Amino acid sequence: MGTGGKGGYYFHIGDLLCESFAQGTNGYKCRAVATDGPRENLPKLRRGKFDIVVARSDWAKRALDGSGAFEGKGADTSLRSLFSIHSEPLTIIARKGAGIGTFGDLNGKRVRLGSSATQLFRQSPQAANWGTSGFKTLKFRDLSQQSAALCAGEIDAIASVVGYPSGWVQKTAKTCPIQLVTVPSGQVSGSGELAKATIPASTYTGVTSPTNTLGYKATILSSAEVSEDDVYAFVKSTFENLAELGRQHPALSGLHPSGMIRDGLPAPLHPGAARYYREQGWIK
């Protein structure tokens, strides 16, 4: 299984899924491989170097279409979805007192954006008419440095696509009072890779209400070339052990099969996954 960097969610999740599968299923071995993420995972899956990979849903959509980073490689028509796991929502933190109560209030403000957040803002019909001279795109690793600027009143909001709980968002919340900005689902359009998301109440210090937003999903993918029986066994093992997996990692807690087999899956279901879901009565 191709995952991500050893310090990140994707590697830890892949390692847990592999360990659970290998221990609970006779005759199978599974190893999570640390990688540079979807830019490495998806081409290697296509070439048969991996059987299963973890990738964010927007990356899966680009690989499927042969767009973005995969433009020169053509559409990967063999890409297949197994299920989605945790959300990576558009998370907008605003300093209390900045006059930002809703998504529309960002118009004309001083906002720092992660690159994926910039992409989502560009897809928003509402934001297309905003004054964005105060918007600036930053690399993900630079976003945490903006916490001090937000708390000092030098900027008004920070937007990033990030799984929760996020360490740098929590650090900001503990430094000064913040609020999370709700993003109505109709504000950004997507083609299968976007899903509604809710950041639970009390995820961050001082934020006592749930925040509805949208974003991408971390997805588990395979190839049409991988056997139906192998994928069936992996999917069956995962869902039968979902409660225990959720106790071992926050990104796997609170998941429901109805969302996992529907949300953030731009590629068609693998026949092995579909067979298990039909047996459970989850799909026809």
Q: Give me the pLDDT at residue 191, please.
A: 59
Q: Give me the pLDDT at residue 190, please.
A: 58
Q: Spell out the domain ranges in the chain.
A: 9-87+217-279, 89-216
Q: Give me the pLDDT at residue 188, please.
A: 63
Q: Give me the pLDDT at residue 189, please.
A: 58
Q: Give me the pLDDT at residue 35, please.
A: 97
Query: CA 206 to CA 229: how far, in whole Å?
Result: 48
Q: Hey, do 9-87+217-279 and 89-216 end up sharing a CATH topology, with the first three levels equal?
A: yes
CATH of domain 89-216: 3.40.190.10
Q: Give me the pLDDT at residue 187, please.
A: 64
> What's domain 9-87+217-279's architecture?
3-Layer(aba) Sandwich (3.40)
**Residue 151 phi, psi dihedral angles, 5° rounding:** -70, -25
Q: Give me the pLDDT at residue 39, please.
A: 93
> Token pair of 25, please?
């299923």
Q: Give me the pLDDT at residue 182, please.
A: 92
Per-residue pLDDT of the chain (284 residues; tens, 9 = 90+): 999 999 888 999 999 999 999 998 888 999 999 999 999 999 999 999 999 999 999 999 999 999 989 998 999 999 999 999 988 899 999 999 899 988 999 999 999 999 889 988 888 888 878 988 999 998 777 777 888 899 999 999 999 998 888 888 999 999 999 999 998 876 665 557 788 888 999 999 999 999 999 889 999 999 999 999 999 999 999 999 999 999 998 878 888 999 999 988 999 999 999 999 999 999 99
Q: Could you write out the three-class secondary structure of the chain?
A: CECCCCCCHHHHHHHHHHHHHHHHCCCCCCCCECCCCHHHHHHHHHCCCCCEEEEEHHHHHHHHHCCHHHHHHCCCCCEEEEEEEEEEEEEEEEECCCCCCCHHHHCCCCEEEEHHHHHHHHCCCCHHHCCCCCEEEECHHHHCCHHHHHHCCCCCEEEEECCCCCHHHHHHHHHCCEEECCCCHHHCCCCCCCEEEEECCCCCCCCCCCEEEEEEEEEEEEECCCCHHHHHHHHHHHHHCHHHHHHHCHHHCCCCHHHHCCCCCCCCECHHHHHHHHHCCCCC
Q: Are 84 and 220 in contact (CB under 8 A)?
A: yes
